[in-house]
Amino acid sequence: MTRRVTIADIAAAAGVSKGAVSYALNGRPGVSETTRTKILAIAAEMGFVPNRAARSLSVSSAQAVGIALRRSARTLGIEPYFMELISGIEATLSAGSFGLTLQIVDTVEAELEVYRRWWAERRVDGVLMCDVGSDDRRLDFVADLGLPAVAVGGPVEGARLPAVWHDDAAPCREILEYLHALGHRRIARVAGFDHLLHTAIRDSAYADTAAALDLEAMETFHSDYTGEQGARITRRLLSSAKRPTAIIFDNDVMAVAGLGVAHELGIHVPHELSIVAWDDSPLCRLTHPALTSLTRDISAYGAQCAQALLSIIGAEPHEDRAFSVQCRPAQLSPRGSTAPARA
Amino acid sequence: MTRRVTIADIAAAAGVSKGAVSYALNGRPGVSETTRTKILAIAAEMGFVPNRAARSLSVSSAQAVGIALRRSARTLGIEPYFMELISGIEATLSAGSFGLTLQIVDTVEAELEVYRRWWAERRVDGVLMCDVGSDDRRLDFVADLGLPAVAVGGPVEGARLPAVWHDDAAPCREILEYLHALGHRRIARVAGFDHLLHTAIRDSAYADTAAALDLEAMETFHSDYTGEQGARITRRLLSSAKRPTAIIFDNDVMAVAGLGVAHELGIHVPHELSIVAWDDSPLCRLTHPALTSLTRDISAYGAQCAQALLSIIGAEPHEDRAFSVQCRPAQLSPRGSTAPARA
DNA sequence: AGGTCACGCTTAACCGGGTAAGTGACCCGA
DNA sequence: TCGGGTCACTTACCCGGTTAAGCGTGACCT
């Protein structure tokens, strides 16, 4: 294992100074084309890769972005959402030769502390914030810190921060009208954390749409996105006297759990109960019947978030430095879990 | 947003030199207790956090480890395994104030290139390698590179690298004997990638155990761990003339898909078909019936892997610098998806 | 009293790459 | 022929934290 090769080594080999090598490698003026080619050739031959720490120290940029996830290991593991998001983020970042630093935290305080440390240490150039809440402390915190950040979700009112989001209200209307057209009049919804912004948005979208349709019942129950909670709520719903003929779940995991409960109670899906899931992961196609769900390209979403962050960091050509980006809303993919309500 | 505070600022405020501040902050001898306390107080008051790049540059350590995942976004998303593993890894790392750098790659070549770059850039101090294959190019590659690494899985023969693994053979025997005791004589197995080391180990463990028992059939079909493949193979198995009475799946995702296929074909689980899954994620408890599965604590496993890596990096008290670590094998958790075979 | 040693601190160099300022050499126009 | 300008490169210092070496002071020993 030989010593790493530094620009000093290249300079020596090429018979020029460190400075010339630096200019040559960074494509800056200051060296002749002949010398540049020679230096590049030598650098390639010696397998030169610049030391990240040294570069960071002088240009003061980490060439990395951070993401702190505040969800339990179990939720993170089972929800395909996060890994797909990360994979999309990662693809964009590595295309721009940025690194991704990941940390899992317990509490908001811990999360804020991570941001503070990352920024003070200059370990990251910016962060992506998931699970945006309706009145999120983190937004002001990072803005005060001066830490470049993008909110993954929104829209964020009076934002001092750009957000990448999609319209959640339209798909809600779409689902409800679809179920209504199928003849469903008693509909329930198992929602996610009620403190999250998109939950609030969906809440009111459902309420508004329900009011406009002649529904007998449209109730919402908040949960924590876990299968256990999803199953528990579904079990209660399906055991009630006037049970709903359709249930909408705010994520795929709860929907699968709900389907399990229906099986357990001998309630046939879709003949006796229709099920709709948000977030069309492969999970929705695993079950029988396959779940009708709201499809969105989460990888692409992650990619857009990363793009937005790179843009405010300034690593990107900032022609389209749009402050907030709205993505294509989720599309309803009808599958086997929805059917006309029985008379 | 004021300028970052550096040790020079603290030195000025305390009326001492940069060197003294450094000694004080790092708990090294060279300053009196009085001065040390004073410096620490001033540093705390000014909110000092050392610049990571500067420290890395002088001590040449990145205080970060890397993990490159070579799986498609969809597999990563849906398999709870990875996120649980990462969460365990992360917990240990952040306890030692190490960062985790994540990258997703397509090919082995890309993965090797990532390792080379990370190490050359000194972006990481070591890496964790998942999905160890039976004749894995990566092992020699990183060893040649001199990049500290730990294999997540094993055991690796003639290893130049430590590995953290658990006995896969014993649980295989346990499953097969359990199913045999339940009266099953025609058993099938839907396995994972055949190039992976643990797949090979399980292959021979099943073969050996099957030979010792009076089984009518014990066939294995390799797949790619996706639900689609799992469903396809299960569909073929259950449509055959002499269909198995029990199927063992090498991961939870395929098991859930298999259960879906059984429902689809009107085959009752567990009365007509028993199902066993490896890797007991919450997914296995979501379905109805809940899946009998092999439980192991994946977070804890990840934590041990990270511990091993920190130990060879030298960041840990290396009392127990065991070269390879064997963990507690998976335990069978019987649930509703297994029952006595029908006569 | 003189020598020695430990302590507490400063100085200065170093890690490796970036970059402003400086220096010849050369060309060009007046 | 000389001033002015450009080109090609070197010099030197910067980033911020670490650390070997140096140095003055006081204590302790003989």
Query: What pLDDT score does B4 carry?
Result: 83
CA distance A247 to B85: 33
Our CA angle for A196, A197, A203, nearest 5°, is 95
> What CATH number is associated with residue A128?
3.40.50.2300
Same domain, A186 and A230: yes
Task: Provide the 3-class DSSP secondary structure of residue B203.
Answer: helix
Under a CB-based contact definition with an 8 Å cutoff, are residues B140 and B263 in contact? no
Same domain, A315 and A266: no
The residue behind tokens 């993919």 is A333
Contact B91 A103 (CB under 8 A): no
Q: Which of A83, A141, A298 to mutate to test the interface with B (most CBs of B within 10 A)?
A: A83
In a domain, B104, yes or no: yes
Under a CB-based contact definition with an 8 Å cutoff, are residues A188 and A242 in contact? no
Helix (H) or strand (E) holding A220: strand A217-222
Task: Please give the average pLDDT of every successive group of 10 residues along chain B, which has 343 residues.
Answer: 82 93 92 93 94 93 95 86 94 93 95 95 95 91 94 83 92 96 96 94 95 93 95 97 96 95 95 94 92 94 95 65 79 96 82
Query: What pLDDT score does B343 carry?
Result: 67
Same domain, B116 and B15: no
Query: What pLDDT score does B157 carry?
Result: 78
Predicted TM-score (pTM) of the model is 0.93
Return the higher-pLDDT residue of A154 and A249: A249
Lowest mean pLDDT among A93-107, A150-164, B75-89: A150-164
Mean confidence (pLDDT) of chain A: 92
Closest in A74, A257, A281 to B77, CB measured = A281
Same domain, B184 and B219: yes
Contact B84 A74 (CB under 8 A): yes
Same domain, B288 and B274: yes
Task: Provide the 3-class DSSP secondary structure of residue B343.
Answer: coil
Same domain, B180 and B283: yes
Same domain, A264 and A178: yes
Interacting residues of B24 by C-beta distance below 8 A, sequence separation 6+: B31, B35, B36, B39, B40, B43
- What phi, psi does B277 have (nearest 5°)? -120, 145
Same domain, B307 and B282: no
| Structural domain boundaries, residue B127 | 64-166+299-327
Query: What pLDDT score does A275 carry?
Result: 98
In a domain, A340, yes or no: no
Our CA angle for B28, B34, B36, nearest 5°, is 35
Query: What pLDDT score does B320 carry?
Result: 47
Which residues 307-336 of chain A have a CB within 8 Å of chain B?
none
> What CATH number is associated with residue B26?
1.10.260.40
- Number of domains composing chain A: 3
In a domain, A337, yes or no: no
pLDDT in tens, A44-65: 999 999 999 999 999 989 999 9
From start to end of chain B, where are the E strands? 64-69, 99-104, 126-129, 149-152, 163-166, 186-191, 217-222, 246-249, 274-278, 292-295, 325-327, 331-333
Place A224 in a pLDDT band, splitting at 50, 70 and 90: very high
Closest in A52, A90, A227 to B102, CB measured = A90
Query: What pLDDT score does A318 carry?
Result: 47
Which residues 92-121 of chain A have a CB within 8 Å of chain B?
94, 99-104, 116-117, 120-121
Q: What is the mean pLDDT of residues A32-48?
A: 93
Count Cα neighbours of B134 within 13 Å in the Cβ-side half-sphere: 11
Under a CB-based contact definition with an 8 Å cutoff, are residues B279 and B81 in contact? yes
How would DSSP label each residue in B277-327? EES--THHHHSSSPPEEEE--HHHHHHHHHHHHHHHHT-S-GGG--SSEEE
Q: Which tokens hold the place of B34? A: 């009085």
- What phi, psi does B44 have (nearest 5°)? -65, -45
Q: Is A62 on the interface with B (CB under 8 A)?
A: yes
Place A4 in a pLDDT band, splitting at 50, 70 and 90: confident
In a domain, B58, yes or no: no
CA distance A298 to A280: 9
How would DSSP label each residue in A136-163? -HHHHHHHHHT--EEEES-PPTT-SS-E
Residue A321 pLDDT > 80? no
In a domain, B158, yes or no: yes
Same domain, B158 and B305: yes
pLDDT in tens, A232-275: 999 999 999 999 999 999 999 999 999 999 999 999 999 999 99
CA of A6 to C1' of D4 (A): 39
Under a CB-based contact definition with an 8 Å cutoff, are residues B324 and B154 in contact? yes
- What phi, psi does B196 have (nearest 5°)? -80, 145
Under a CB-based contact definition with an 8 Å cutoff, are residues A186 and A243 in contact? yes
Place A2 in a pLDDT band, splitting at 50, 70 and 90: low
Same domain, A142 and A177: no
Same domain, B147 and B194: no
In a domain, A38, yes or no: yes
In a domain, A334, yes or no: no
Which residues 155-214 of chain B have a CB within 8 Å of chain A?
none
How would DSSP label each residue in A284-305? HHHSSSPPEEEE--HHHHHHHH
Same domain, A190 and A239: yes
Task: Provide the 3-class DSSP secondary structure of residue B142.
Answer: helix
Q: Is B286 on the interface with A (CB under 8 A)?
A: yes
In a domain, A1, yes or no: no
